[in-house]
Chains A and B, each alone.
Chain A
Amino acid sequence: MDTSEGTVIGVFTCEQCDLSSPYTFYGQKPPNTRAIVLLEECYGMRDPFNPEREKFLVLGSKCCLCKKTVCVGTECSIFYTKRFCLPCVREHLEQFPEQIQMELAKKKTAKKM
């Protein structure tokens, strides 16, 4: 195995958008990052776009409500102290602060156009 890559554990696939990529760690602690801690259990890999070896990239995690695996893209999920997939956010929209509600509304109209 390529030393700079870490061992591939499996393939991460977003259940919302189908984006997929191999992942090399799962959890709150990306390897070799000292003080950095993730606030959720994440699927991640070495950042393929950064020449430095220790840089990581979070691909996604599980929605705290429906437990679906989703990517971190804004079309699929948001993080607000926890990970929520967009369908779950919409379902519980009233519990989210106004800023997030507005954001989602904007997204909807943008999509319609």
Chain B
Amino acid sequence: MCDKRGDTQEWDWGSPQCRAQLDEVFFRQHDYIQARGAEHAEFWTFFERFQRFKAKKEMAGSREGKARKKGATGAADLGLPKEYDPRYRINVSVRTRDVEDRLEGSRRRTPTGPGSQEIAECRLALLHFLDFTQKQSFGKLVKLRREQRNLPIFQYRDRILDLVRNYPAVVVAGDTGCGKSTQVPQYLMSSGFSHIACTQPRRIACISLAKRVSMESLNQYGSKVGYQIRFETSRTPATKLLFLTEGLLLRQLQQDGQLSRYSVVVVDEVHERHLHCDFLLGVLRSLLSQRTDMRLVLMSATINIALFSSYFGGAPVLQVPGRLFPIQVIYQPIPPEEQASRSEKLDPRPYLRVLQGIDQRYPAEERGDLLLFLSGMAEISTILEACQTYASHTGRWIILPLHSTLSIAQQDKVFDIAPPGVRKCIISTNIAETSVTIDGVRFVADSGKVKEMSFDPKAKMQRLQEFWISRASSEQRKGRAGRTGPGVCYRLYAESDYEAFAPYPVPEIHRVALDSLVLQMKSMGLGDPRSFPFIDPPPASSIQTAITYLKQQGALDTRGELTPIGRLLSQLPVDVVIGKLLVLGSLFNLVEPVLTIAAALSVQSPFLRTAQHNPDCSTARQPLNSDLGDPFTLLNTFNAWVQVKGERGGGSRKWCRRRGLEEQRLYEMANLRRQFKELLKSHGLLEEGGQDRVSAEGRAQRRERLSERQRLHQLHREHQLQEGRRRKVLRLDEGAEGPSSGSDTDTPPSASKDQEGAANSMDIQEVKFKLRHNVSELREAACASADMSSRQTALLRLLLCRGLYPQLALPDEHNATRKDSEQVFHTRNKQGIVIHPTSVFASDPEVLHVPEHESSALGAGKEESSKHQLLAFVTLLETNRPYVSNCVRLPVLQALLLVADSVDSNADCTRLVLDGWVELGMADAEAALKPLSSALTLRAEWERLLQAQLGHAGPASTSGLGFTGPKPARRELDKLREGLVRFLLYTEVNYSLKRLTGLQAQNLYVGPQVGHSELTLPPLFPGMQSEPDPVKGGLRITNYFTYNCLCDSKDLYSECLRTFWSCPHCDLHMPFTPLERMQHEATCRPAEEQQPEEDPDTVKTAASSSLTRLYHCDVCNKSLNLTSTEILRHKRQHLA
């Protein structure tokens, strides 16, 4: 054979040149396997193995050869070759004759390159390789089908499809492991349904189910199966089955009440009874009667099935057994002496006994981890500490915490594997009950406790309280021990306790504030929320609270219909207060920072709690802190991060780690921010920007950006093709080291592992970020809001305050004499609040104190100062104490005058009561009147321009109210902005500040006065009638300001109240009552403003309407066209 070619010696299979020559034959550009592809590399690895295998076989084969062939003597009717050759077992062939011929020709001339021998060898290897890859893939298919068949639900496939075809609604009930979530949507798809929506309560489940189901339906790399969550979708026109969150399906219903894009809706995990789910069921129920072609499948654990079935008119129920291994239940109630009282820390002994018991009873070689359920984070850290001591002592455990405020990398650790002989002990909140499933758990220890959020409508406060769990939750927790094999569940309560538990958890709709729900119902035109047929209606009072609140916030009008702002708010997937903030921000030139703050306040805090006690992190964070308030710290952080991203791209990960920041949250902020921006744009509240920039951009730049995008898309695709994060083996000291341990945060002991794992996920986050956002645009916005002037920040604080109103708190008057940790605050309805330790005001409370030298003591609690401050806050949450978090500080007088719903005064306006609980006292009557008067003017203007802006707002106004006013003029806005800033920054009035007690608040008002009805003044502002207040007494000047209704009032017209005052604008000097003076101030404009040089038409009408009006004088019985000042002069004339 060698003699065919003289230079066989030179043929070296390992040499790249030789391989390249064969690549020319077999792996050309359009071939099945192409040079430089992944499979190409695999082939050559395979080739080497194959050659070795053949060589070995040949050695052995020389012996075997003799014993060969005795069989094929019979009738050869099958025509099979007599000599066995593995080649005959392969059903593929590769035709390369054309290339070979060419090669043959060229070899005659130059005797290099592969001979037919080499080509034959390579071909044979290729055939075996192809056969091998076929077997591999086919093996996967067989395994997958086998697993599908083995699921309990498989037996019910036809029955389920039958029911769905014949009934509008079907309930499929099955316990953990029966396969309903993955299989039912596939059954529907394979039987011909093609527009299937499947809702999940959790975003993460949407993604993982879509991934799993697309793989199982052999469409892993196609898009038949997709998911859609808030910022992400894999949906394409080819998508037949879509996993989405309940909230998102509701949003789609908001846009298309018929939900015409789906023919089947599957609602999974209905037994979890989330707010959105309960609401969704109600909406879908009424939709079913309209859309007879639609099918609804409810999927539930075997909990309370009858409720769902009867809600849907006796819908058929198909119950599928779960697949759980037997679980032994051991009750180990905590002895009384180890039970912690409310204030004490949890006693770890009962939990340690569980670990010890496992160590004694089960040999270390028998694998199986422990999952321990506790109620909250504080409990987790207490037990974690004790268990860690035990773990380091025995060397048999790795202790890992699991709760939602951990960083994502830390959360992921629970999926890693313990080394042999060591068990994981995962100490978790109820997050591991349903949301997170951890394989390999054999033991469960259940404290029987859960912390649940409830809502106190009176204090408008959320409360996180500890409760006993329900029997259903208890069973769910137990079930976590039996997923992979027989398990053990230790219940740290008595069997009698268990029996006393409620059967099911309280549905969310009974526990939470319903503001957003009611708003959404209104926008969907579902009528009176009180009569909506919920599956389990919430208490009427809780709906009423929501309606009242929405009216207060201006989202609903007095008849309970949506206002323009309400319509807008209903489309924002955020709290009403955050939505308000966005709308307010759009009015002024503050959109960019407001977008960022609104986004930041809507996601979990990026500041990791665990990093708080790390001095390095605190130092690194220091420059980001703002003593104006937490929203500003968040703003600074986001802006700085965007800068880092612009400069260093992927380096931002390190930057975040140094500062103890969870970068994921910052990505979420960027996404949310963008969504807000688009919403504002689509409502005409924000002008489309950036067009000029794009066209000004050079062609080269554009090309560069395009190719950059292509590259990013490529990276994104590659990532999608890769499998998820691989599980790693944990180190024994994994749990022991603090999450932010290691003074040098860049190389902590486990950094190599973390970095490697994070590097992959990191890159993809970076890629997604760049694909989604125009980084340079973001940077510009960040730059702009990074160097805001003090005037801009003042305005921003005011917007926050108005947005967050009525969520305001006052510092306790004795705070200055208290320790930093004992600063106390009060809201209108809740006393004794503390600031959450994460807030900037918790570490730096002095900025809230009234400077001592500034205040003039007028007796206890009567200190006058111009520096009183209040806090506007985002959340008030009661855990062991009521906490406020995300606070911003503002001057009390100015803030309250501008935002309070009720402003009451005495006769000379030296005493003001705001919202019935804050009393301000001013010694100087002359000085007191000024801010009140300014505030009245500013508020009127602000309101007018805001309404104009909203009236102008796009689709909402055209479809809804049908009035489209002119957009507020830039000039007017600038003037208002200037006025507000001045008012906020330069009002210098000394006043005392007092909170009213309940009793004082009761006896505040003079009450309705009889016989004073003739005392009507001309309205302070055109079109606003002042009239006696029927409840408080005094005069109602505007819808929020009531004059002279406070009890100590002197008579309105008593001459002594008139004091001489000269108007700075028109130089009028005469005695005025406070009201007359305010009236004058509201209408008298500085000379330069009276002849504004703007659009003459509008000016004329505005000037004539605002400066003069028809005045009928009762004394001389004449109707006169006068300005307010002239009216006053006229009246003085009669009095004199």
A interface residues (Cβ-Cβ under 8 A, vs B)? 1-5, 19-22, 33-40, 42, 45, 47-55, 57-59, 61, 65, 71-73, 78-83, 92, 94-101
Contacts and interface: CB of A to CB of B under 8 A. Distances in A.
B89 interface: yes
A2 B91 CA distance: 29
B412 to A, nearest CB: 24
Q: Which of B37, B76, B92 has the most CB of A within 10 A?
A: B92
A5 B93 contact: no
A58 B141 CA distance: 11
A92 B75 CA distance: 10
Contacts of A57: 134, 137-138, 141
Interface stretch (B216-224, B496-504, B779-787): B216-224
Given A34-B30, A97-B84, 18 more contacts: A5-B222, A20-B145, A34-B31, A35-B26, A35-B31, A36-B92, A39-B91, A45-B218, A47-B137, A48-B137, A48-B218, A52-B39, A57-B137, A57-B138, A81-B81, A95-B77, A95-B80, A96-B71
B80 A80 contact: yes
Interface in B32-57: 32, 37, 39
Contacts of B70: 98
B30 to A, nearest CB: 5
B82 interface: yes
A32 to B, nearest CB: 8
Interface in B99-147: 130, 133-134, 136-138, 140-142, 145
A40 B91 contact: yes
Given A58-B138, A79-B89, A48 B94 contact: no
Q: Which of B69, B80, B223 has the most CB of A within 10 A?
A: B80
Contacts of B69: 97-98
Contact of B91 (A52, A58, A94, A99): A58
A38 B137 contact: no
Contacts of B72: 95, 97
A87 B134 CA distance: 23
Interface of B: 26, 30-32, 37, 39, 68-72, 74-84, 88-96, 130, 133-134, 136-138, 140-142, 145, 215, 218-224, 238, 721
A21 to B, nearest CB: 6
A42 B92 CA distance: 11
3 nearest CB pairs, A to B: A48-B218, A97-B84, A51-B721
B32 A33 contact: yes
Nearest to B130: A36
Q: Which of A47, A49, A65, A83 has the most CB of B within 10 A?
A: A49
Contacts of B26: 35
A50 B42 CA distance: 13
Given A39-B93, A51-B721, A81-B88, A34 B32 contact: yes
A70 B145 CA distance: 16
A4 B221 contact: yes
Given A35-B32, A52-B39, A80 B94 contact: no
Contacts of B37: 52
Given A50-B137, A95-B76, A80 B31 contact: no
B92 A73 contact: no
6 contacts: A5-B219, A37-B95, A48-B141, A79-B91, A95-B75, A95-B77
A39 to B, nearest CB: 5
B712 to A, nearest CB: 18
A99 B84 contact: yes
Contacts of A82: 78, 80
Contact of B90 (A34, A79, A99): A79
A98 B223 CA distance: 47
Contact of B218 (A21, A40, A97): A21
Contacts of A71: 138
Nearest to B90: A79
A52 B223 CA distance: 14
A2 B224 contact: yes
Given A1-B238, A51-B721, A38 B77 contact: no
A33 B88 CA distance: 21
A35 B95 contact: yes
Contact of B89 (A36, A55, A78, A95): A78
B258 to A, nearest CB: 26
Given A80-B80, A96-B80, A99-B84, A49 B137 contact: yes
A49 B140 contact: yes
Contacts of B96: 35
A43 to B, nearest CB: 12
A2 B222 contact: yes
Contacts of A79: 88-91
A94 B71 contact: yes
A19 B77 CA distance: 31
Contacts of A42: 91
Given A73-B142, A94-B71, A94-B74, A2 B218 contact: no
A98 B68 contact: yes
B93 to A, nearest CB: 5
Q: Which of A34, A45, A100 has the most CB of B within 10 A?
A: A34
Contacts of B76: 95
Contacts of B90: 39, 79
Nearest to A72: B138
Contacts of B39: 52
A71 B145 CA distance: 13
Contacts of B84: 97-100
Given A54-B32, A72-B134, A2 B223 contact: yes
B91 A49 contact: no
B32 A36 contact: yes
Contacts of A2: 219, 222-224, 238
A81 B80 contact: yes
Nearest to A95: B78
A98 B71 contact: yes
Nearest to A92: B78
Contact of A80 (B88, B133, B140, B145): B88
Nearest to A97: B84
Contacts of B75: 95
A70 to B, nearest CB: 13
Contacts of A61: 91
A107 B889 CA distance: 80
A54 B37 CA distance: 13
A97 B224 contact: no
Contacts of A20: 145
B234 to A, nearest CB: 13
Contacts of A37: 92-95
A20 B190 CA distance: 12
A82 B136 CA distance: 21
Nearest to A89: B78
A3 B140 CA distance: 23
Contacts of B136: 49
Contacts of B77: 95
Contact of B92 (A1, A5, A38, A80): A38
Q: Which of B26, B32, B90 has the most CB of A within 10 A?
A: B32
Contacts of B89: 78-80
A111 B130 CA distance: 28
A103 to B, nearest CB: 10
A81 B137 CA distance: 22
A97 B82 CA distance: 7
A19 B377 CA distance: 49
A71 B134 CA distance: 12
A19 B95 contact: no
A17 B70 CA distance: 33
Q: Which of A51, A94, A100 has the most CB of B within 10 A?
A: A51
A26 to B, nearest CB: 14
A104 to B, nearest CB: 13
A95 B32 CA distance: 35
Contacts of B79: 81
Nearest to B218: A48
A79 B32 CA distance: 22
Contacts of B222: 2, 4-5
A66 to B, nearest CB: 13
